Structure 1
Amino acid sequence: MLIVLAYLAANVLSNLSVSYFGAISTPINAFLLIAFDLVSRDALHERWHHNNLKLKMLLLIGTGATLSYFLNRGAGQIAIASFVAFLLTGLTDTLVYQMLRNQPKLIKVNGSNIVSAAVDSIAFPTIAFGSFIPWVIIAQFSAKIFGGYIWSLILFRGNKRKKGEATA
């Protein structure tokens, strides 16, 4: 439950800071908060794999966007962009994560995050700001990859796959 609350807090903080500070805050958010969201979603994927995964992920993403909107109605466009981007990212992440299911955990997590970071880095700023902003997209993508790697080491430490062990 703690990881769900942390995911939601990171999502809401990211959305509200973008609403307040604008595009300039997105690389910092990408490194600290969105990278955490990408990796924590993989951790939740592992936990929820056989227990309503799709429904829980959709509710998680929708709750983050709804909380952002209700905490700051001015963040409406940001909340919509966040919901759409995280929905696309979640679908992409799940697909790639499942394709890598027989790989070691850090390969699955970081491999799926590379693709997810690309999708999110294009979708979110384009929807949120109404235009394609290359420097924001490149900065976000780079920050998510580096931040995601660091978060994967933190969230999955001591959780290495044993030799011959299959993973979900």
Structure 2
Amino acid sequence: MYVLVYIAAAAAANLTVAHFGPASTPIVGFLLIGLDLAVRDRLHLNWRGRALWGRMLVLIVAAGGISYVLNPESASVALASLAAFSAAAIASAVVFQAGRRYPVLLRANAANVAGAAIDSIIFPLIAFGTIFPAIAALQFAAKVGGGALWSWIVFRNVRVS
């Protein structure tokens, strides 16, 4: 189920940004990218090293591919998403794994901060050719806030040993 949620949220985020442009990214960041950040952490726990990197790459490519197939005009957004999600997933995974002695919600939120920071810089630079500072700051805050909310939902009944 988490795999489908991840792909659907990422594809929906790409298509929404392709349609509405940079101004939509803070809302998309809160609702959809925050969800993807939390689900990525959950998949990290579920897969626990069993081809984690390969599986995450497949998910990221699948979401970009679906975005492109549904709207070929979203190609630049899909490519930006592929690059930004890949870099953000690496940063997030490193922070999430490094914090394994801490409670899962703390790990997830720390990982979300790292992923949101990377994504908020790389995505607009590739998708729009520039970084709009105010929008990037709003994106970052929205992704961290959305990630915190979604992490609470995704991990509320999870016990990690």
- The normalised TM-score by structure 2 is 0.97
Equivalent in the alignment of 1:124: 123
**Where does the alignment leave 5 or more consecutive residues of structure 1 unmatched?**
none
1:44 maps to amino acid = L
1:146 maps to amino acid = G
The sequence identity of aligned pairs, in percent, is 43
Correspondences of 1:148-163 after superposition (within 5 Å):
148-161=147-160
Q: CA deviation at 1:50?
A: 3.2
Q: Is the 8 A contact 1:81 1:128 kept in 2?
A: yes
Q: Is the 8 A contact 1:31 1:146 kept in 2?
A: yes
Correspondences of 1:3-152 after superposition (within 5 Å):
3-152=2-151
Q: Is the 8 A contact 1:104 1:160 kept in 2?
A: no
Cα distance in 1 for partners of 2:131, 2:23 equals 14
Q: Is the 8 A contact 1:125 1:136 kept in 2?
A: no
**Where does the alignment leave 5 or more consecutive residues of structure 2 unmatched?**
none
User: After TM superposition, what 4+ stretches of structure 1 lie above 6 angstroms from structure 2?
Assistant: none
2:118 maps to amino acid = V
The DSSP-based 3-state class of the residue aligned with 1:115 is helix
Give the number of aligned pairs: 161
